[in-house]
Every structure is written in C-alpha cells, then in structure tokens.
Chain A
Amino acid sequence: MSEPISALAGKNAEGFARVSEAGLQGMITLRGNLASAALAAAVKAATGCALPGNRGIHTKAGKAAAWMSPDELLLLVPYGEAEATAAALEAALAGEHALAANVSDARALFRVSGAKADQVAMKLCPVDFARLPQGEIRRTRAAQVAAALWRSAPDEISLVCFRSVAGYVFDLLAISARTGSELAPA
C-alpha cells in the first residue's frame, strides 16, 4: 500500500509564533446519544477518556475526546488506529442509534506554538481567547472557513480545518504570525 500523506505533509512557518501542519492525525466523528452509558464506555475504550461535557476536550496519552455538539464527539487517536477504532465503535454501539466515521483524511490539523500563539488566532477568529481555558474546544471560523481549536499545551493552540482548505489556512496562519505584526500594545 502507498504511504498516506497529510494535506500539507508537515509544512511549517516561523514568525513571532511557529505554525506547523501536524501531519497525519487519526480522527473519528462519533454521533450518538451522549447520555448513553454504552457510548461513554465505547469512548472510554477508544480513547481512555471520560466523556467531555459541553465544549470540553479530554486528553489522555496522545488520544482525546472532544465535544462538538450535543450529539457529536470528535475522537483523536493515532492515525493508524482510526479505521479500526471507528469499526470498534460501530460494533460496540451496534445496539443503539449511533454513527462512527473515520474522518482522518477529511481534515488537517495545525499547531500554533509560542508565547504569542493567541495573537495569531486573534487575527482570524472572533473568539475571546482570554476566556478560552485549556480543556475547552471552540468551533468557530478562521477568516472565511470553519475551524475548531483548543489549547493543546500552555503555549500551543491546535486548530482543525477541512483538508481542502489546508493551504488557505496555512497561509492565513503564516501571514498572521509574521514577525513585527505582534498585537502588543504600543
């Protein structure tokens, strides 16, 4: 089998913050009844994470479970495990109304890192970053396209967008991070 390639094959740019496409990331869309015990158990089995609450994201050992809407989660697993994990979720939830789909290839993942990472995102997203705590995932737009972002480390924002616009989002982030354009008060 050919080697899978991510949207931008790990492209990166340096400015007052570092912008990089994070390469292949396993992602599963899981829709179902978030109040169901079976679903919570399946999520735990798949990611090791407890079910996140509204807009929450739980991370454990390189995997994560993120709340996307009242009936939808985004699960992050290693790329190579996504297909099997999606199948395992489907099997575990066979008895109830649920949908698990591997969407790893439908998305691109970016990391914006550095002490001023917030300032890059502030130029693109109508989000109050001062009030976005670690552990929360925010779905919004980055300039003209949909995006979801969260604090994946103290000085790092992770941002997911659709694969087809990865080039657009990379250019947005890179230009927003250009040295000299910090939002520092004058």
Chain B
Amino acid sequence: MLTLTCPCCGVAAEETELAPGGEAHLKRFGPGASDEDFEGYLFARKNPKGVHFERWRHAMGCGKWFLAARCTATLEVFGTYKAQSPEPPPEIIAAIKARRPDWKGYS
C-alpha cells in the first residue's frame, strides 16, 4: 500500500486516504478537435513498466489533487508536485534521471 506525500498540505498520506485519478498531463480536446485527437485524449492511456506520471487526490485529507512521478515496477516515488503543472517540472525530471539514468525522458 503506497504512501504519497501531498504537496498541498504536506501530509504523508497512505493509499486509503487518497483517490487515484489516472494518467497525468493529459491535454483536453473539446469541440472542433479531430476524431484522432479526441480519441487519444479520451482513451489512449500509457501503461509503462517503469516511470509513470499519475493524478492523485488527497480525498480523505485536504481534498486537493496532485501529481506523482512513480515507478510502476518498483513503486519507487520520485516526487509529488502540483496538479497545476502542464508537464513534469525540472526538479522531478532531475530526480528521475538521478535514479533512472537510462530513462528516455517525458514525452
């Protein structure tokens, strides 16, 4: 059972206090978008073995959403950061690179 530190309130919350929200950094496509873009936004989800970016809500806590960078194979947590991040911030990228030198980077 995971523990993630909520960057909004600082609590190291266990999984039962959190609600998962799937893949992070999705770009919304609305009316006017092509079928392909909309399909990608709505359905095509990454499922990597290794570094992954996820949305979590501190549901039984401060109620805020946040993002986590985590290894899906070892469950190592590279960092948590604000939900208001269009892409992983540099310090998170650096933390991942330090631990996973051959990681290809965020795409």
Q: Which residues of A contact B (CB under 8 A)?
A: 54-55, 68-70, 72, 126, 138-141, 146
Instruction: Enumerate chain B residues within 8 angstroms of A70, measured Cβ to Cβ.
Output: 8-9, 62, 64
B64 engages A126 (CB within 8 Å)? no
Categorize the interface residue count of chain B. Answer: 10 to 19
Kindly identify, within residues 6 to 52 of chain B, every residue whose CB is under 8 Å from any CB belonging to chain A.
Answer: 8-11, 13-14, 16-17
Q: B105 at interface (Cβ–Cβ under 8 A)?
A: no
Q: B60 at interface (Cβ–Cβ under 8 A)?
A: yes
Instruction: Enumerate chain A residues within 8 angstroms of B10, measured Cβ to Cβ.
Output: 54-55
CA of A54 to CA of B11 in the docked complex: distance in angstroms?
10
CB distance from B81 to the nearest CB of A (A): 14
A68 engages B60 (CB within 8 Å)? no
CA of A72 to CA of B10 in the docked complex: distance in angstroms?
15
B60 engages A141 (CB within 8 Å)? yes
CA of A146 to CA of B57 in the docked complex: distance in angstroms?
14
B17 engages A69 (CB within 8 Å)? no
Q: Can you list 11 A-B contacts with CB-CB less than 8 angstroms, sorted by A residue number?
A: A54-B10, A55-B9, A69-B62, A69-B63, A70-B9, A70-B64, A72-B62, A126-B17, A138-B11, A139-B62, A140-B17
A126 engages B16 (CB within 8 Å)? yes
Instruction: Enumerate chain B residues within 8 angstroms of A68, measured Cβ to Cβ.
Output: 62-63
A54-B9 contact, Cβ under 8 Å, with A139-B60, A139-B62, A146-B60:
yes
CA of A138 to CA of B62 in the docked complex: distance in angstroms?
9
Closest 4 CB pairs of A and B: A69-B62, A141-B60, A139-B61, A126-B14
Among residues of B, the one whose C-beta sits closest to the C-beta of A126 is: B14
CA of A69 to CA of B57 in the docked complex: distance in angstroms?
12
A69 engages B64 (CB within 8 Å)? yes
